[in-house]
Amino acid sequence: MAREHRLKIGVSGIRGVVGEFLTPTLACEFAQAFGTFTGRGRVVLGRDTRASGPMLERAVTCGLLSAGCDPVLVGVLPTPTIQMYVAAAGARGGIALTASHNPPEYNALKLFNERGEFFNRYERGGLIDLYHQGEFALASNAETGRVTGEFSAPARLHFERVLRSIDRDRVRARRFRVALDAVNGAGSVLTPRFLTEDLGCRLDAISIDPTQPFPREAEPTPEALGELSALTKRTGADIGFAQDPDGDRLAVALPDGSILDNDEVLALVVDAALARLPGDVVVNLTTSSVIDEVAAWHGRKVHRSPVGEANVVEKMLATRAVIGGEGSNGGVIFPAVHYCRDSYTGMAFLLDRMAETGLGIAELAAKLPKFTRRSAKSKFAHGGLGGGTLALERRFPEASRDRSDGLKLTWPDAWIHVRASNTEPVLRVSVEAKSAARAEELLAAGVDILNS
CATH number of the domain enclosing 395: 3.30.310.50
Q: How far apart are CA 331 and CA 287, in angstroms?
A: 10
Question: Could you list the residue range(s) of the whole structural domain that residue 279 is in?
Answer: 156-366
Average pLDDT rounded to a whole number, residues 254-277: 96
Kindly tell me if the per-residue pLDDT of 3 is higher than 50.
Answer: no
Please write the tens of the pLDDT for every residue from 56-95. Answer: 999 999 999 999 999 999 999 999 999 999 999 999 999 9
The H or E element spanning position 428 is strand 426-433
Residues 6+ apart with CB under 8 A from 340: 79, 80, 83, 84, 116, 117, 248, 309, 313, 333
One domain for residues 182 and 296:
yes
Q: How far apart are CA 433 and CA 441, in angstroms?
A: 10
Strand partners, 243: 250
Q: How many domains does the chain have?
A: 3
Residue 300 lies in a domain: yes
One domain for residues 184 and 322:
yes
Q: How far apart are CA 428 and CA 384, in angstroms?
A: 13
Residue 74 lies in a domain: yes
Positions marked active-site? 100
One domain for residues 292 and 252:
yes
In the chain, pLDDT over 70 holds for what percent of residues?
96
Please write the tens of the pLDDT for every residue from 318-350. Answer: 999 999 999 877 789 999 999 999 999 999 999
One domain for residues 322 and 175:
yes
The residue ranges of DSSP E strands in 261-371, in sequence order, are 281-284, 302-305, 323-326, 331-334, 338-341
What DSSP designation does 18 have? B
Residues 6+ apart with CB under 8 A from 326: 266, 283, 284, 286, 287, 307, 309, 312, 333, 341
One domain for residues 350 and 213:
yes
Residue 434 lies in a domain: yes
* Angle between helices 24-38 and 53-66 in degrees, nearest 10: 40
One domain for residues 332 and 394:
no
Q: How far is CA 389 from the centre of its chain?
A: 26
Strand pairing of 281-284 and 70-76? Answer: unpaired
Average pLDDT rounded to a whole number, residues 407-420: 93
Residues 6+ apart with CB under 8 A from 376: 428, 429, 443, 446, 447
Residue 1 lies in a domain: no
3-state secondary structure of 447: helix
Please write the tens of the pLDDT for every residue from 177-235. Answer: 999 999 999 999 999 999 999 999 999 999 999 999 999 999 999 999 999 999 999 99
- Write down which residue in 130, 151, 172 finishes a domain: 151
**Would you say 250 and 265 are in contact if contact means Cβ atoms under 8 Å apart?**
yes
Residue 414 lies in a domain: yes
The CATH number of the domain holding residue 180 is 3.40.120.10
3-state secondary structure of 199: coil
Please write the tens of the pLDDT for every residue from 90-141. Answer: 999 999 999 998 999 999 999 999 999 998 888 989 999 999 999 999 999 9
Query: CB neighbours (10 Å) of residue 390?
Result: 12
One domain for residues 193 and 332:
yes
Residues 6+ apart with CB under 8 A from 58: 24
**Would you say 186 and 71 are in contact if contact means Cβ atoms under 8 Å apart?**
no
Query: CB neighbours (10 Å) of residue 128?
Result: 17
One domain for residues 270 and 416:
no
Strand pairing of 93-97 and 407-411? Answer: unpaired
Cα 322 to Cα 279, 325, 340, distances in angstroms: 5, 11, 13
**Would you say 43 and 91 are in contact if contact means Cβ atoms under 8 Å apart?**
yes
Residue 438 lies in a domain: yes
- Write down which residue in 366, 397, 420 finishes a domain: 366
- Write down which residue in 122, 151, 180 finishes a domain: 151
Residue 2 lies in a domain: no
Please give the angle made by the CA atoms of 156, 338 and 107, to the nearest 5 degrees: 85
Q: How far apart are CA 61 and CA 71, in angstroms?
A: 6
Burial of 298 (0-12, 13-18, 19+ CB in 10 A): middle
Residues 6+ apart with CB under 8 A from 320: 279, 280
Average pLDDT rounded to a whole number, residues 278-304: 97
pLDDT value of position 51:
97
Strand pairing of 323-326 and 281-284? Answer: parallel
One domain for residues 164 and 303:
yes
Dihedral sign, CA of 26, 78, 276, 371? Answer: positive
Strand partners, 332: 325
One domain for residues 357 and 241:
yes
One domain for residues 345 and 437:
no
One domain for residues 343 and 436:
no
Global pTM?
A: 0.93
What amino acid occupies position 432? E
Residue 254 lies in a domain: yes
Residues 6+ apart with CB under 8 A from 360: 238, 239, 255, 354
**Would you list the DSSP string of 212-245?**
S--SS-SS--GGG-HHHHHHHHHHT-SEEEEE-T
